Structure 1
Amino acid sequence: MGVESLIQYVRTSSVRTDIIGSLCPRAKATNELLSAVTASESAIYDALSNLEGRGLVTSMDDGWQLTGTGRLVADTIHRQHRLEELFAVAPQYWESHDTSVLPQPFRCRLPELDEYTVVRGTQTDINRPVREVVTRVESVSSCDVVSPVYHPEYEAAMPDNADSRLVVSCAVIDEILGKESVSLDTNRYEETTVRVTPVPYALAVADDWMILTLPELDGAWPSAKIVSEADSAILWARDLFAHLWEDATPIETYLADR
């Protein structure tokens, strides 16, 4: 039986799922396990026998523990639960926005956004998402920002200091360079380091928050933004920014090659 089949086997029974979850992260004495799982003793013993037969748990003198395979199945089920929790907060957002623009390792880590809110514009306050970004960016001394589109309010709010970094989409720079009536101000930031790379999503991260903007499935650039102040979300955003920053081109080098 393959790993996916084992996961499906466990998840089709709440008793089996609870047993696997209860034994992760540590083994339990039989009496402790019986108290931890909400089911009859006969149902628990029957599930344990079946799980042992499939190599997911093993009995000890005084209890039960996960096998190596059982641990992997438990970890996968835990990730699935967290992903389901992520969707449950704002299902319509995830249905209509393109997560494929994120690198695969970071898509897998999306449940790390943890507690988040989706900030949208309304009929009475259409600029709410923009104001959310500007207010947060203006309130910090430094931050890292990824900008796939040009927005003058964001540019004005961006801190100018050695602790701030900005990644700008190639498309933004190329569009400005292609307009004879507009000149590119390469001295806009005296200290903030600027790099250029193709990027289809927006990101801003500071010590206490992160903001993510994904395009809609039809390619339209949305106003809705994901905002989180969870430590795990901030770490996710910092790692994503570092991943992008590493391969981005310094703006001076990019312009010299145009």
Structure 2
Amino acid sequence: MGVESLIQYVRTSSVRTDIIGALCPGAKATNELLSAVTASESAIYDALSNLEGRGLVTSMDDRWRLTGTGRLVADTIHRQQRLEELFAVDSQYWESHDTSVLPQPFRCRLPEVDDYTVIRGTQTDINRPVREVVSRVESVPHCDVVSPVYHPEYESAMPDNDESRLVVSCAVIDEMLETESVSLDINRFEETTVRVTPVPYALAVADNWMIITLPELDGAWPSAKIISETDGAISWARDLFTHLWEDATPVEMYLDGH
């Protein structure tokens, strides 16, 4: 039975799923499992026998533990459950926005963005998301920002110091060089380090919050933004920024090439 089939086998039974989950912290005696899993004794014994038969759990000295295969299956199920929890907060958002713009390793880590809020513009308050970003950026001494489009309010709010970093999309710089419709003032940032790279999403991360903006599936640039203040979300955002930052070109080098 393949790994996917094993995962499906476990998840099609709440008893099997609960047993696998109960054994994640470590081995348990049979009586401990009977207390930890909400099911009849016969159902638990039957599930244990079947899980053992498929190489997911093993019994030693009347203590049940996960096998190596069982541990990998348990980890996968845990990630699936966290992803389901992510969707449950605001399923409409995930259905209408393009997550493919994120690097694959960071899509896999999206469940780390837990306990988040989606800030949307409304007919009566279309600028609410912009105000939320500006308010948060202005309130912190430093932050890291990824800007795929030019927005004068964001530029004005961005702190200028040696602890802040800014990644600007190539498209913004190119338009600035080709036309007068964009007036991004790179010289405004005397201390903030600025780099340039192609980027299809917006990101801002500070010590106590993160904000990400993904494009809509129809290609439109959205106003809806995900905001989270959890440690997991902030760590995810910092790693994503670092991933982008390391491959970006210093703005001075980019301008020299043009």
- Contact 1:145–1:165 at 8 Å: present in 2 too? yes
3-state SS of the aligned residue for 1:204? Answer: strand
**Structure 1: gaps (5+ residues):** none
3-state SS of the aligned residue for 2:47? Answer: helix
Please give the alpha-carbon distance, in whole angstroms, between the structure 2 residues aligned to 1:139 and 1:186: 22
Shift of 1:188: 1.2
Range that drifts further, 176-185 or 199-208: 176-185
Query: In the alignment, which residue of structure 2 is the partner of 1:195?
Result: 195
- Contact 1:177–1:184 at 8 Å: present in 2 too? no
**1:110-152: CA deviation from partner (whole Å, max 9, x where unpaired):** 0000100000011221100000000000000000000000000
3-state SS of the aligned residue for 2:173? Answer: helix
Query: In the alignment, which residue of structure 2 is the partner of 1:245?
Result: 245
* Count of equivalent residues: 258
Shift of 1:62: 2.4
Query: 1:171/1:213 Cα in 2 relative to 1: closer, same or farther (>3 Å)?
Result: same
**Structure 2: gaps (5+ residues):** none
Q: How does 1:144-159 map to 2 (within 5 A)?
A: 144-159=144-159
**1:180-224: CA deviation from partner (whole Å, max 9, x where unpaired):** 566653311000000000000000000000000000001100000
Query: In the alignment, which residue of structure 1 is the partner of 2:221?
Result: 221
Shift of 1:82: 0.1
**1:68-93: CA deviation from partner (whole Å, max 9, x where unpaired):** 00000000000000000000000000
- Contact 1:27–1:66 at 8 Å: present in 2 too? yes
Amino acid at match of 1:78: H
3-state SS of the aligned residue for 2:134? Answer: helix
Amino acid at match of 2:137: V
**1:13-64: CA deviation from partner (whole Å, max 9, x where unpaired):** 0000000000002110110000000000000000000000000000111220
Q: How does 1:68-83 map to 2 (within 5 A)?
A: 68-83=68-83
Shift of 1:173: 0.5
Query: In the alignment, which residue of structure 1 is the partner of 2:255?
Result: 255
- Contact 1:34–1:44 at 8 Å: present in 2 too? yes
**1:224-244: CA deviation from partner (whole Å, max 9, x where unpaired):** 000000000000000000000
Query: In the alignment, which residue of structure 2 is the partner of 1:135?
Result: 135
3-state SS of the aligned residue for 2:187? Answer: coil
TM-score by length of 1: 0.98
Query: In the alignment, which residue of structure 2 is the partner of 1:29?
Result: 29
The percentage of aligned residue pairs carrying the same residue is 87
- Contact 2:150–2:184 at 8 Å: present in 1 too? no
- Contact 2:145–2:204 at 8 Å: present in 1 too? yes
Amino acid at match of 2:195: R
Amino acid at match of 1:199: V
